[in-house]
């Protein structure tokens, strides 16, 4: 007899959900760094990231319960199919939830999310409880945008401040006048909001970073994230000592594929804190390492849709050291989140769902609107 909690069907639907007009760079700020775009799987330009496909995963049990998940952008169709083949027929209550038979980290979280969604529904507990329990009922979240003119940067920071965000995050390159950004933000917002600059390693080296940070209003800076190449651990250590503001390292498992990246930074005491994104249990482990190191962190993202961002809320809630505002802001950037009731934000913080499982429902009408026509299905 087949167990009621065995997986009888897995379906994956490819979607493209574009960005809202005006949510990325200023109109006259062009992003022509093709190598950067290629490294981050964003298409021909970084501003095309929202036009890269994702897969929405649905796992159906013999008892007809459905769990949902979401891959990162540009996930491999072949690897999604391979993972479906490995999991179909398995009993979700007998799987090792911390080590699923899925290797690629750009799709791992989608299947992990769907399985934990199912487990929570079966056990009558929210996902954060399956991760050990919540340390907080709501998670502070950043505002976010791309590269801007100084005037636009100040306007975006002001809009976020008016919504109640405590922190606003900017993407930037070595072509951006970040000193002027902070000057204009100070004029417009006063002490009302702090900012994070995130060059995604595009400042390359210590010398460029020190030059670009010269004259920046450090009084409104929450910190600087990933200014230089990750391989330059000594460079991070130097900047941490010299800049006078917190320095953060992003460990993104969907990019690095290696959780051990944190070890050399811990040994060198090279940062003040971390940004983590990837699967739930791996991110919990990273957050616990940060806590043992006496440092704080936040939940990162790739500007995702509602399923992945809700999972991020559960992860942030269950991570004791996750006290810096998290990168959960897809509703500010994407035209839809593909969930029936969007994440509930209040004064810059998002409520952690308390219903069993993820606590959100897939919006099937929206799924149909943004589907590309590509669908995969695997049955027992």
pLDDT tens sequence across 243-273: 999 999 999 999 876 899 999 999 999 999 9
pLDDT tens sequence across 62-115: 999 999 999 999 999 999 999 999 999 999 999 999 999 999 999 999 999 999
* CA–CA distance, 290 with 287 (Å, rounded to integer): 5
Whether the per-residue pLDDT at 238 is higher than 60: the answer is: yes
What is the reported pLDDT for 255? Answer: 87
Q: Looking at residues 316-328, what average pLDDT do you find? A: 98
Architecture (CATH level 2) of domain 7-16+53-124+361-379: 2-Layer Sandwich (3.30)
Q: Looking at residues 277-292, what average pLDDT do you find? A: 97
pLDDT tens sequence across 332-378: 899 999 999 999 999 999 999 999 999 999 999 999 999 999 999 99
User: How large is the greatest C-alpha to C-alpha distance in the chain, in angstroms?
Assistant: 71
What is the reported pLDDT for 39? Answer: 86
Whether the per-residue pLDDT at 321 is higher than 90: the answer is: yes
pTM attached to this predicted model: 0.96
* CA–CA distance, 304 with 224 (Å, rounded to integer): 22
What is the reported pLDDT for 330? Answer: 84
Residue 350: exposed, middle, or buried by beta-carbon count in 10 A (0-12, 13-18, 19+)?
Answer: buried
What is the reported pLDDT for 1? Answer: 56
pLDDT tens sequence across 173-205: 999 999 999 999 999 999 999 999 999 999 999
Burial string for 139-163 (b: 16+ CB within 10 Å, else e) reads bbbbbbbbbbbbebbbbbbbebbee
Residue spans in the chain of domains classed CATH 3.30.390.10: 7-16+53-124+361-379
Residue spans in the chain of domains classed CATH 3.20.20.120: 138-351
In CATH terms, the fold of domain 138-351 is: TIM Barrel (3.20.20)
Beta carbons of 222 and 246 less than 8 angstroms apart: yes
Whether the per-residue pLDDT at 287 is higher than 70: the answer is: yes
* CA–CA distance, 287 with 282 (Å, rounded to integer): 9
pLDDT tens sequence across 15-46: 999 999 999 999 999 898 998 988 888 999 99
What is the reported pLDDT for 331? Answer: 80
């Amino acid at each position: 007899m087949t167990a009621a909690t065995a997986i009888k069907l897995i379906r994956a639907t490819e979607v493209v959900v574009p960005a809202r007009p005006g949510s990325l760079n200023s109109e006259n700020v062009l992003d022509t760094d093709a190598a950067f775009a290629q490294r981050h799987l964003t298409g021909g330009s970084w501003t095309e990231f929202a036009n890269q496909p994702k897969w929405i995963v649905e796992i159906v049990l013999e008892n007809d319960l459905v769990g949902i998940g979401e891959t990162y952008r540009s996930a491999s169709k072949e690897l999604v199919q391979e993972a479906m083949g490995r999991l179909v027929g398995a009993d979700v209550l007998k799987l090792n939830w911390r080590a699923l038979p899925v290797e690629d980290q750009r799709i791992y979280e989608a299947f992990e999310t769907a399985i934990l969604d199912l487990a929570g529904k079966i056990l009558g507990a929210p996902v954060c409880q399956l991760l050990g329990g919540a340390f907080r009922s709501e998670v502070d979240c950043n505002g976010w945008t791309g590269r801007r003119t100084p005037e636009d940067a100040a306007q975006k920071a002001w809009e976020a401040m008016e919504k109640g965000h405590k922190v606003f995050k900017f993407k930037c390159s070595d072509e951006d006048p970040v000193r002027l950004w902070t000057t204009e933000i100070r004029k417009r917002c006063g002490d009302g909001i702090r900012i994070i600059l995130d060059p995604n390693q595009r400042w390359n080296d210590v010398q460029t970073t020190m030059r670009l940070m010269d004259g920046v209003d450090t009084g409104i800076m929450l910190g600087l994230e990933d200014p230089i190449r990750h391989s330059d651990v000594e460079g991070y250590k130097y900047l941490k000592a010299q800049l006078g503001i917190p320095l953060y390292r992003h460990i993104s498992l969907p990019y690095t594929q290696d959780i051990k990246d944190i070890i050399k930074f811990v040994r060198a005491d090279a940062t003040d804190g971390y940004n983590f994104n990837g699967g739930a249990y791996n991110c919990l482990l990273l957050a616990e390492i940060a806590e043992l190191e006496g440092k704080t962190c936040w939940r990162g993202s790739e500007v995702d849709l509602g399923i992945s961002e809700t999972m991020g809320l559960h992860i942030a809630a269950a991570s004791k050291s996750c006290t810096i505002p998290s990168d959960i802001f897809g509703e500010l950037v994407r035209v839809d989140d593909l969930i029936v009731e969007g994440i509930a934000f209040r004064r810059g913080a998002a409520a952690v769902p308390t219903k069993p499982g993820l606590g959100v429902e897939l919006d099937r009408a929206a799924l149909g609107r943004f589907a590309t026509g590509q669908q995969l299905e695997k049955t027992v």
